Amino acid sequence: MVRRPCWVEISTHAFEDNYKLLAQACRARVSSALELLAIVKADAYGHGLSICAPAAVRAGAGWIGVTSVEEGVAARQTLRGLEPAPEILTIGGVFPGQGAEVIAHRLTPVIWEPYHLDELEAAAKATDALPGSIPVHVELDTGMSRQGVELSELGALLERFRKKDESPVRIDGIMTHLYAADERDGEATHHQLDRLENMLEQVAAAGLKPRWLHVGNSAAVLLGGAPETALASLVAIAKRHGMHAMARPGLALYGLVPEFDPPLVREELPLLDDLHKELQPALAWKTQIASVRSIGKDEVVGYNGTFVATEPMHLALLPIGYADGLKRALSNRGYVLIQGERAPIVGRISMDQTVVDVTDIPKASPGDEVVLLGPQGDETISACDHANWAETIPWEIFTSITARVERRAV
């Protein structure tokens, strides 16, 4: 069936190039042994898991990360037949009843609660899994107070892995999450990594030797490996403990640079400054003009007439609204691109429709392509622009694009 014109285009080349660019820069500038796990949670930040997960693997990712067991199962299915099959990390825990899927689809769950292990052990018993055949990564809470084992509980949790010959579950990795990698003074990160080292001493004292240590999101990766940065510390800590270091970028793979505090300009990105190619946004969001009309001075536009024409105007109707994920906060604030020009959104964005001012684009007519996110002519609107207009963050802009918007790989 031909669908209404409202779609996102995902450039798999941009996504693959972004992964390769980051991986090469990390290897050249930080450590030849540093791995990058590609974060493709939440339907690849709204870009489409079935498009981005295979692209990550083609670009060389040996690990991909998703939130839930159900996302992990979907990732395994979409990657079927692609070699080499990557490891799939499920970040958000294992809920009662999910153990069997973890085992059947060879997922690597992040665990931190005793009940996570109870669930996996029970599922293992039901499937006669061999000792040590189910890998897990243990998350340590080093200060974010969100998920992860606290120091006071660590000894008891590690005890569960010590009966190695009996337990079906083996500790394959350790991870923590930095809550302020975008703060350039690095103080919070430094503190977290100190705590990480202390907790790793306990892991070693328990006689456990996990292979992987992973820390760091896009901000940590882009700050690079200069002394005292998160990546340099990660690599040093992993080396001291005989582990492989891995970082977990998300946003940067989709081509966006997170905002730093104090702000960092592109030329200053320590990891990318000597590379000719820069990160490219992988997503463009498009629609077409559905109809055009003219209104006179003092006529109003949209619900509650929040926009009043101060002069005769031309308007274009777009078949897209907040039910597609276009933030209603962009009403009377945001812009779209038509014929390479910026057209302001006027009046309230409705559930399924939006009106823009095309008074200065007199040739605008039904069928014209409209860009909500991405480049057109010499202009570009980015997810950071939408985030600023809507007073949120680009992660939320991407993940707000709803399922009824078609994802097209280009």
Q: Catalytic positions, please?
A: 41, 303
Which conformational region is residue 157 in: left (phi greater than 0), alpha (psi within -120 to 50 degrees), or beta? Answer: alpha
User: By C-beta, is 123 or 251 nearer to ligand PLP?
Assistant: 251
Nearest C-alpha neighbor of 224 from the set 178, 268, 261, 192: 268
Which residues between 180 and 239 bind ligand PLP (CB under 6 A)? Answer: 217-218
Among the residue ranges 79-87, 249-257, 294-302, 366-374, the one whose residues contact ligand PLP (CB under 6 A): 249-257
**Is 146 known to sit in a ligand binding site?**
yes
Cβ 351 to ligand PLP shortest distance, Å: 29
- Residue 291 phi/psi, 5-degree rounding, is -160, 165
Which of 14, 25, 26, 39 lies at the binding interface for ligand PLP (CB under 6 A)? 39
Cβ 220 to ligand PLP shortest distance, Å: 8
Q: Judged by CB under 6 A, how many residues of this single chain contact ligand PLP? A: 11
| Contact indicator for 154, 199 with CB cutoff of 8 Å | yes
Among the residue ranges 9-17, 244-252, 297-305, 350-358, the one whose residues contact ligand PLP (CB under 6 A): 244-252
Cβ 258 to ligand PLP shortest distance, Å: 6
- Cα distances from 339 to residues 124, 220, 313, 378, 379, in angstroms, run 59, 38, 18, 10, 10
User: By C-beta, is 94 or 289 nearer to ligand PLP?
Assistant: 94
Per rule CB under 6 A, is residue 56 in the interface with ligand PLP? no
Per rule CB under 6 A, is residue 47 in the interface with ligand PLP? no
User: By C-beta, is 39 or 74 nearer to ligand PLP?
Assistant: 39
- Cα distances from 274 to residues 20, 29, 208, 268, 359, in angstroms, run 15, 10, 40, 10, 44
- Classified as helix, coil or strand, 138 is strand
Structure-block tokens of residue 157: 């949790």
Per rule CB under 6 A, is residue 177 in the interface with ligand PLP? yes
Centroid of chain to Cα 143: 21
Looking at residue 183, the DSSP 8-state letter turns out to be: B
Among the residue ranges 16-24, 250-258, 281-289, 380-388, the one whose residues contact ligand PLP (CB under 6 A): 250-258
Per rule CB under 6 A, is residue 250 in the interface with ligand PLP? yes
| 69-78 helix and 49-58 helix, angle to the nearest 10 degrees | 60
User: By C-beta, is 29 or 248 nearer to ligand PLP?
Assistant: 248
Report the distance separating Cα 230 and Cα 179, nearest Å: 12
Residue positions forming the annotated binding site for substrate: 146, 351
Q: Which residue ranges are tagged as binding site?
A: 146, 351
